[in-house]
Structure 1
């Protein structure tokens, strides 16, 4: 090669290297894409890269307006606001031009919104929710049990705290099992990336809000999971955590600004008290500790009053709905959130998806405390949260009191009657999610002393009273244990792993006792799927007498009578006092056993039982 040719090549190489050195490649763009035709046409895109604040941002696309570029404390971030109202689906370049002539380009896409009629259907009192932990339910893909580069590489099914290998494919493989069982909606504990150093299997310490944890699968697989659920008539609830993130979240290593999370001079934990939110005599510091304190040291508290954080969280959850077609959200630790943010967030979600369901975890101590967090400002709240329903702890406790408690006006079954009599305090109590246990609580079968009669009686109440019933995985096969520690109530569903000696997903793998429980559960759950009275009916209850509690669910087309006998001896119930509801009905069919009662003036009640009777003429 001639001397001048070699010199020219070297010079060209130097220019190329110099231009590359001046270019700051983007490390993050969130959301990575969006949709045209959203009701809220404003879009704020987070850009993250080394020293990108020095760049000028441009974007040209028909109908698109770049409204504002915000620089923040950290020069590695830019927040770019677009107006998309007139923009049609398509791609355009976001161009960052740096001093010296270097450029970075990101190809952004506005996608076409899907409209297949199955998206964002909402979860209602017509449904039965099945809560599961994906790491502990079934392992459908052993290749992702360990993922190189993740901080936690542990894998041991013998440990309560490490990952066990369950994943999205494992859930997909068992959708027919859930559908056959009578389930209509699935709620999984969070599936997003939890790249924490240890004990990250539960999912409540997100490190990437836009990414499914690779040990569960991919974003594309999660989208496919939702689609497969919809094909089978199952709805999908996503567990979301706006209150906090994981300490290893990508932005925690290089915060956009100090106020992105609530920072304190030293570590400050929430008080786990809900009372300051509603206490008219509160000290404001107690309120600040409740909502701004960190949940635990590994879960920093997001500052939802920061408008950039509010936009980030709101767009993220809308992104997941639009991307996958989800039907509902369960909001973790609702009382620790900024209530005005939650109200605004709720309105933003429903503006896009009017039927979409949202309920909040509110592990509080009374009916009035629960009502405080629900919509309608029915108890003189300063902020209407817009939250349609909560996890109904008061009703759960009342059912346990019915099953395990003693006699007396305020004890036993009278507690259940009393709690339901206070439903006037809610705007719509039908939106409350009713349950007996979950991943943070002792399992239902253990809580009733492994008494099978009580187990059946309580489930019958859960499946027939008002609200949206939710069960925890394994309830149908009598999984048991107490939550000290939590890992004991988060055991694997046997049969979900290759090589399991027992497969509880099949009748052959269950004991006779487990099959009896399974059949009871399945019979009542599937009846509920087709019962107009249990899905849509009004509730009428009667004052309990002699340990017996009676209520009716009824519509114009169907009446179901439910009789709860808390006595440990058989009883005979005279039905004369229920004439106004029984009316012209003269027969009844036992929904579970199929037995026919041709005379209902007197009904024989087994000890410790709940009869579910469909009335006929």
Structure 2
């Protein structure tokens, strides 16, 4: 979330424990802090560029940037999803040259840049004549495009030459008749065609075309936006797009955009330009949509985030999470390794649609504070493309009944993390940051942790009775172990969902890859003193080894 990441001010002091809550010491200051979260707070492209060393040290290999194109002036759409001019960078974030320089320096640091883009809608660029309009299947009468002051005084059509770029919508092709569906805001987010034709509250739905997926007829608006995004690829040397709200687009429109962008990127030498589709809804719907539209990966599959969070906190059966990656035949794939680079996995995100109004980062409760490393380890070393939401590596703990509370400013300012102001959180000595850096370094060195087949392993306390870890009386404090098998090698990983005590368990390993009496070596532990220790393979439940996992910790054996 670019507005909330870094502002480039290196003089801001580092947050200490004493600073936490410094913005909540009076009711007045608390209200000021909460109000500040609804407004622009100052993160920029140059601020992000100044933190590439921080990201590289963490082990990040790609950065997904929230939308940066120009928002309607005099509004607080700091999130970037309410574009008024698709041809310009919003001045709050910087300039087009700043974007180009950021990408160049990121590439020099070995970091790819994925830009969040919007096709489905523009910002609140026009007003309806009716006061309480909503989607009911009808096209509603529009009062006019908004002028530079936000009033609907302009004709709802091509504007005159010389009209401010802060008015109406740009490029000019979006001003043509029929560019917007004009059917009012969505009320039922799961009813078709309402969720494809309706506005996102004040964000106005763009007409993308019509017809079946095969033979779809793209609108002039879709063709214009596709050309705009081709321009940004070529201009800034971008590496991929995260495409917003694909669920709300006609599949044919998403497929047209996918084909056009892939072909263009290949024509300028970008063979692996990645398109990541945000698809809310069930896993089956998301995978089916992904295959239909042809994008490279899916993001926003609620059950992945939900299962991951609550598994680590000990309130979800691990078989449910690992089972998400075992039914590849249902999506027409012959191996569950298909999920390796087709699904973006995470446990924190910037809006948490799955939680409704009860929004909270993973670290918002006591368990989350103690199990953050285990959550990131599970995310980084199981199937999928692991995505780390900014601040999780510092244990940011935002929570509340609004998206803003998940979007704290890491750089401080008026809406700083941990209910603070005026102090930054880029602490490279933070224990979570340091452990994550070590985990991601291990992941880079071990292909099995990135590419291997994946199996949840049975465990035992006595070495005789084995079974998968499961809930007892609604919770689970246990070792959870899994194997990644790649090129005739096995890497065994495990977390401990008990945040207070180390846990020891016998863990099943592959029968054919290990001889009884051979040994596995601890390659990683959140307690580094255990690294290098060897454990013998014994003939238990086929073959098994006995491992100890630190409290709330993570280990890897190979």
Fold similarity call, TM over 0.5 = yes
The equivalent position to 2:180 in structure 1, one of 261, 264, 268, is 261
Corresponding residue of 1:291 = 196
Corresponding residue of 2:99 = 222
Deviation at 1:458, TM superposition (A): 1.5
The CA distance in 2 between the partners of 1:566 and 1:529, in whole Å, is 25
Deviation at 1:257, TM superposition (A): 3.0
Query: What is the SS of the residue equivalent to 2:36?
Result: coil
The equivalent position to 1:598 in structure 2, one of 530, 534, 547, is 534
Aligned residues: 437
Deviation at 1:231, TM superposition (A): 1.0
8 Å contact kept, 2:535–2:547: no
Shift of the 579–571 alpha-carbon distance from structure 1 to 2, 3 Å rule, reads: farther
8 Å contact kept, 1:566–1:607: no
Deviation at 1:172, TM superposition (A): 0.8
The CA distance in 2 between the partners of 1:373 and 1:483, in whole Å, is 32
Corresponding residue of 1:245 = 122
The equivalent position to 2:219 in structure 1, one of 278, 302, 307, is 307
8 Å contact kept, 1:191–1:216: yes
Query: What is the SS of the residue equivalent to 1:341?
Result: helix
Higher alpha-carbon Rg: 1
8 Å contact kept, 2:314–2:497: no
1:55-74 → structure 2 map (5 Å cutoff): none
8 Å contact kept, 1:270–1:294: no
The CA distance in 1 between the partners of 2:111 and 2:102, in whole Å, is 11
1:462-611 → structure 2 map (5 Å cutoff): 462-494=379-411, 502-507=423-428, 515-542=430-457, 545-547=468-470, 548-556=479-487, 559-566=490-497, 570-576=502-508, 578-582=510-514, 586-592=519-525, 593-594=527-528, 595-601=531-537, 602-606=545-549, 609=552, 611=554
Deviation at 1:167, TM superposition (A): 0.8
The equivalent position to 2:241 in structure 1, one of 329, 335, 343, is 329
Corresponding residue of 2:321 = 416
8 Å contact kept, 2:72–2:124: no
Deviation at 1:216, TM superposition (A): 1.1
The CA distance in 2 between the partners of 1:496 and 1:159, in whole Å, is 9
Root-mean-square deviation (CA, aligned residues, Å) is: 2.9
1:362 aligns to 2:279 (yes or no): yes
Deviation at 1:501, TM superposition (A): 5.3
The CA distance in 2 between the partners of 1:374 and 1:475, in whole Å, is 28
Deviation at 1:479, TM superposition (A): 0.5
Q: TM-score, normalised by structure 1?
A: 0.65
1:272 aligns to 2:189 (yes or no): yes
Query: What is the SS of the residue equivalent to 1:346?
Result: helix
* Unmatched segments (≥5 aa) in structure 1: 1-132, 143-154, 274-285, 376-383
Query: What is the SS of the residue equivalent to 2:225?
Result: helix
1:396 aligns to 2:294 (yes or no): no
The CA distance in 2 between the partners of 1:231 and 1:574, in whole Å, is 45
Corresponding residue of 2:13 = none
The CA distance in 2 between the partners of 1:196 and 1:501, in whole Å, is 26
Shift of the 600–502 alpha-carbon distance from structure 1 to 2, 3 Å rule, reads: farther
The equivalent position to 2:113 in structure 1, one of 224, 231, 236, is 236
The CA distance in 1 between the partners of 2:370 and 2:491, in whole Å, is 21
8 Å contact kept, 1:181–1:525: yes
1:386 aligns to 2:386 (yes or no): no
8 Å contact kept, 1:395–1:420: no
Query: What is the SS of the residue equivalent to 2:43?
Result: coil
1:119-134 → structure 2 map (5 Å cutoff): 133-134=1-2
8 Å contact kept, 2:6–2:44: yes
* Unmatched segments (≥5 aa) in structure 2: 11-31, 126-165, 210-217, 266-270, 353-358, 459-466, 471-478, 538-544
